[in-house]
Amino acid sequence: MKEYKTVAGPQVIEVKKGDTQSAFNLFADIMNEQAKHGWHYHSMETITVTEKPGCFSQPSPMYYYMLIFERDV
């Protein structure tokens, strides 16, 4: 049987011009940290979250990266 865990990825990544590798490293750091605790990377999904707005505002969707990890139980 498998157990699954989700971890939020960085929502906004700002890098210096020409340094896209540092953005990739952010995700690798998350994966390596989870691996220390026995979790194996499974996949990444983009999810859309819309919060209920106040009386006079419109709902605005926010997009998040969700990293999915798994391990045997």
pLDDT one-digit tens code per residue, 1-41: 999 999 999 888 888 898 899 989 999 999 999 999 999 99
Distance CA 33, CA 63 (A): 23
Report field, pTM of the whole predicted structure over 0.75: yes
Confidence of residue 57 (pLDDT cuts 50, 70, 90): confident
Q: Inform me whether the pLDDT recorded for 56 exceeds 90.
A: no
Residue 12 domain boundaries:
2-72
Distance CA 43, CA 66 (A): 8
Torsion (CA) 25, 31, 35, 36 in degrees, nearest 10: 50
Q: How many domains does the chain have?
A: 1
Phi, psi values for residue 59, rounded to 5°: -70, 140
Note whether 44 and 66 are within 8 A (CB). yes
* Alpha helix positions (H), the chain: 20-36
